Amino acid sequence: MNATRIAPIALYQEVAERLRQRIFSHELPPGTWVDEQALAEHYGISRTPLREALKVLASEGLVTLKPRRGCYVTEISERDLDEVFSVMSMLEGECARLSAARASEDDLARLRAIHASLEKAAAKPDIDRFFEANQAFHLALQEIADNRWLLHVIEDLRKVIKLSRHHSLFSEGRLEQSLAEHRELLQALLDRDGARAERLMRTHILSGRAALARIADAKTQAA
């Protein structure tokens, strides 16, 4: 009996993850109507686990359920990005502050190693590898901060940011700017200066938002 209760939960969670990845890759772009019948047929499942999966994605802000109109991949506006990045800067700033106080010598060595990967990727330049190392650095700080509630909220907000059609590192000069910001941030952490680490992280996050805004403006002008 326990197996029959667990299986449906595992199924809708798996479906939610598959749809989540299709949304992040923009295979299902923002604004797309989610064809429930087609998806159910594609995955060989009934509509029930699919709808449960869509409820999960709706709770994460990735899809929007509209009464009598169906389900749509969420479209994120410039105002949405302004608000999300503002909150992210505060949350990640707090992670940096906590990490400066709580990091062990092994933690600091790990951060140095990740930063070395950033330097190598920037030297090539390899945006994909730089992005991966950047994500690893931020995740490491969140783990060192050791506040599961901070981590939970940050993870949810990062999912919303992934709905953006653009990537901040594609803004001219942003990769070099981001690397310089990381250098200062790492030094603040090594110095165990929590206030400076928090300030630098908040600046770093908001600089990423400004880069996205520049890309959006350029797209608008080109159109």
| Pairwise CA distance, residues 60 & 135, whole Å | 20
Q: What is the pLDDT of residue 18?
A: 92
User: Which of helix, strand or coil describes residue 65?
Assistant: strand
> Running along the chain, 223 residues long, what does each successive block of 10 average in pLDDT?
53 90 88 91 90 91 88 90 95 97 97 96 90 93 95 90 73 86 97 98 94 78 67
Structure tokens at 183: 């250098």
Q: What is the pLDDT of residue 6?
A: 47
| Pairwise CA distance, residues 46 & 73, whole Å | 20
Q: What is the pLDDT of residue 1?
A: 46
Q: What is the pLDDT of residue 173?
A: 79
pTM for the predicted model, two decimal places: 0.81
Peptide bond before residue 125 is cis, with ω within 30 degrees of 0: yes
